[in-house]
Chain A
Amino acid sequence: MTDSTSTLERLAASDYKYGFITDIEQDTVPPGLNEDVVRLISAKKQEPDWLLEWRLQAYRHWLTLKQPEWARVEYPPIDYQALSYYSAPKQKGDGPKSLDEVDPELRRTYEKLGIPLAEQAILAGVAVDAVFDSVSVATSYKGRLAEQGIVFCSFSEAVHEHPELVRQYLGSVVPYRDNYYATLNSAVFSDGSFVYIPPGVRCPMELSTYFRINASNTGQFERTLIIADEGAYVSYLEGCTAPMRDENQLHAAVVELVALDNATIKYSTVQNWYPGDAEGRGGIYNFVTKRGLCKGRDSKISWTQVETGSAITWKYPSCVLRGDNSVGEFYSVALTRDYQQADTGTKMIHIGKNTRSTIVSKGISAGHGQNAYRGLVKVLPTAENARNYSQCDSLLMGDQCGAHTFPYLQIQNPTAQVEHEASTSKISEDQIFYCQQRGISTEDAVSLIVNGFCKEVFKELPMEFAVEAQKLIELKLEGSVG
């Protein structure tokens, strides 16, 4: 046992392969947060008054809040006055007209990350709204999407070109008073993505955005809003990776999804931010609020996430099932190794009749990694015949790591059917020996077994993303062997 344990630990300790810093001039606001900074961000973006007012309300409310401490994560206090709240890559003139005009340094960064921008995007059939730090610098496929009335643009652009939609839906799922980080985001959010799919339109391609944190000491406050109108369908992909850093970087994004009658939104994430070094120094703090509202009847929202990065992950993509017969899904793989901590899960709030939800959570812990699943299933008195199925599986590699499950059930309607299954397992020596006897090396055996463990989640990802996710997990478990 001791031999295979140390092999697993060795395999689990691998280097972050995307650690590099791009040398690009940053237009950065000095550190600190006050009303003037909020006004400055709004002014830089030439925002309408109502939006500035909304930001200021959020800021004033934030001042009354305390950082939450209930999650099973530990970190030193964050000095919010030491952070800078706005940073944009400098551009000559009014910004690039085409991809050729995008800063070559920036494009090289994307290439190093393997991001399929431009031609790569066309080949992959993916439209990319690339976010470099806080401002979107390149958007492709917009024309083709616009023909069908689909809006896919940066959040700032949407504020100017589709103010009525933004005003109607901003904060309608995650109000600015929601929680500490969401409130902070509401005050200082820089940019993000905006998607609107008109009634009856099935978005012909996966929409994708890549986030990247680059500036030192710059908080990242992305804001994403996706609206699927009646009968619409959209699949949205979010993937991220970040360069090596010593300081901890804060990321507090907000994602709001709204699905009207018969609409479906599929939101997939592969997250690979810098997790800190092997001793737990550095790494990104990822405090994200993601929530979808199944507003209309027969609507569906499906979250799929593969979380492999960040020093701390605090994230609960949730579904509010308001429309009758609406469906919420949450499929998650969270991998923690070294000193990474993850407290992640979901909330399924059943309000409408015959609402259904499925939760499949897979946690992998290696090294000193701590992995917690925290999930709430709430069935309100109005939710006749609500059904939920939850499955939480944990896989432990080595004996220094931990897996924790916190399922909360609040059932207020006697017709509800709720099932919860949980398991904890270790990769067994027998499994590894069986693979070895067929010629497969220990390292390949481990990734084979781990990928098998994650399969129920990976199969929910779009094809290319599933391959990427699988590679990422293999990379994460790769060690000095081979």
Chain B
Amino acid sequence: MLEIRNLHVTVEDREILQGIDLTIRPGETHAIMGPNGSGKSTLANVIAGREGYTVTAGEILFDGKDLLEMTPETRACEGLFLAFQYPVEIPGVANLYFLKAAVNAVRKYRNEPPVDAMDFWELVQERMKLVKMDESMLKRSVNEGFSGGEKKRNEVFQMAVLQPRFAVMDETDSGLDIDALKVVADGVNALRGPERGFLVITHYQRLLDYIVPDHVHVLFNGRIVRSGGKELAVELEEQGYALYNEEPGRARRAA
């Protein structure tokens, strides 16, 4: 469903991604692991369409459509979701109101009428349980004054309500204690299914104990230097990323 081919991306004339190839099929969960500065978040942002990144070569196809041609909101309406590493605060806008605006924007794109208030409320109630979210969070302004854990939980909650076909989780584990991590992972796992794809970006293997991926890729200096099954994550945790620094030859071979 997501095909990345030979993707090269620069930020302020510096090449951050240097030829990424990655194919994710429906129902698959892929993990991208890598040290700081390897280009993980750049990849997430380019997929979602954030400004400030220049694609110098390559393409990304989403169900065969050229993703890079679409505006960020069109990508979202097409069923692409990004769980932000740093969810943004929007003062004065109630979480529930924001979510309804998002749901209706997607429905409008699909030529569907605005969501029925009762149906929406029922969906929200049900999805809140997935991430053990308190109802009071619906009334609070979007992410304003939320703790780190609450913000990440809110991202998963939004995803659960919007029900995208493909989701990118950008370091969803950062800043979470083990309990919050479990809650977030349970939420993600509940959404996994044969039609939905996930790209989980993380620095640590810890998250992958709870969201067990089908494939693991190691991103290093803007390239995928190694791909494998879930056991690769364990190996990385034991050996660290330093290996790739010392043995560029091996890294290239593995890629």
Contact = CB atoms under 8 A, between A and B. Distances in A.
Interface of A: 3-4, 428-431, 433-442, 444, 448-449, 451-456
A438 B158 contact: yes
Contacts of A438: 76, 98, 101-102, 105, 158, 162
Given A437-B76, A442-B73, A448-B90, 20 more contacts: A3-B51, A431-B90, A433-B48, A433-B88, A434-B84, A437-B73, A437-B81, A437-B84, A438-B98, A438-B105, A439-B162, A440-B101, A440-B102, A448-B98, A448-B101, A449-B93, A452-B90, A452-B91, A452-B141, A453-B91
A380 B84 CA distance: 52
Nearest to A427: B90
Contact of B73 (A429, A430, A441): A441
Contact of B105 (A428, A444, A449): A444
Contacts of B162: 438-439
Given A437-B82, A438-B102, A439-B109, A430 B88 contact: yes
Interface residues of B, number: 29
B93 A439 contact: no
Interface string B86-103: 011111110000100110
A433 B72 contact: yes
The 10 closest A-B pairs by CB, nearest first: A452-B92, A455-B92, A452-B93, A438-B102, A439-B105, A436-B72, A434-B88, A439-B76, A436-B73, A439-B106
Nearest to B101: A440
A455 B106 CA distance: 25
Nearest to A458: B92
Interface in B69-89: 71-73, 75-77, 81-82, 84, 87-89
B50 A440 contact: no
Contacts of B102: 435, 438-440
A345 B158 CA distance: 39
A437 B141 contact: no
Interface in B36-75: 48-51, 71-73, 75
Given A438-B76, A439-B73, A451 B92 contact: yes
Contacts of A433: 48, 50-51, 72, 88
Contacts of B88: 428, 430-431, 433-434
Contacts of A442: 73
B108 to A, nearest CB: 9
Nearest to B105: A439
A51 to B, nearest CB: 47
A439 B102 CA distance: 6
Interface in B103-123: 105-106, 109
**SS class of chain A's interface: helix, strand, loop or mixed?**
helix
A363 to B, nearest CB: 15
A454 B105 contact: no
Contacts of A430: 88
A449 B98 CA distance: 10
A144 B51 CA distance: 59
B92 A456 contact: yes
Contacts of A456: 92
A434 B92 contact: no
A429 B51 contact: yes
A304 B48 CA distance: 41
7 contacts: A431-B89, A433-B48, A433-B51, A434-B88, A437-B82, A439-B109, A451-B93
A454 B82 CA distance: 28
A431 B86 CA distance: 11
Contacts of B109: 439
Contacts of B77: 439
A453 B93 CA distance: 8
Contacts of B82: 437
Nearest to B74: A439
A434 B87 contact: yes
B36 to A, nearest CB: 20
Nearest to A428: B88
A304 B150 CA distance: 34
Contacts of A429: 51
A4 B50 CA distance: 12
B58 to A, nearest CB: 21
- Counting chain B CB atoms within 10 Å of each CB, the highest count among A4, A433, A437 belongs to A437
A453 B105 contact: no
Contacts of B93: 448-449, 451-452, 455
B228 to A, nearest CB: 30
A433 B88 CA distance: 9
Contacts of A451: 92-93
Contacts of A3: 51
A64 B158 CA distance: 65
A30 to B, nearest CB: 50
A444 B101 contact: yes
Nearest to B77: A439
Nearest to A459: B92
A319 B64 CA distance: 64
A289 to B, nearest CB: 31
B48 to A, nearest CB: 5
- Counting chain B CB atoms within 10 Å of each CB, the highest count among A438, A439, A444, A456 belongs to A439
A101 B91 CA distance: 49
B76 A436 contact: yes
A115 to B, nearest CB: 27
Contacts of A455: 92-93
A65 to B, nearest CB: 42
B54 to A, nearest CB: 13
Contact of A434 (B71, B90, B105): B90
B113 to A, nearest CB: 16
A188 to B, nearest CB: 42
A444 B102 CA distance: 10
A455 B98 CA distance: 14
A180 B87 CA distance: 52
A437 B91 contact: no
A453 B72 contact: no
A440 B105 contact: yes
B19 to A, nearest CB: 26
A101 B102 CA distance: 48
B150 to A, nearest CB: 16
Contacts of B71: 436
A453 B76 contact: no
Contacts of B84: 434, 437
A440 B107 CA distance: 11
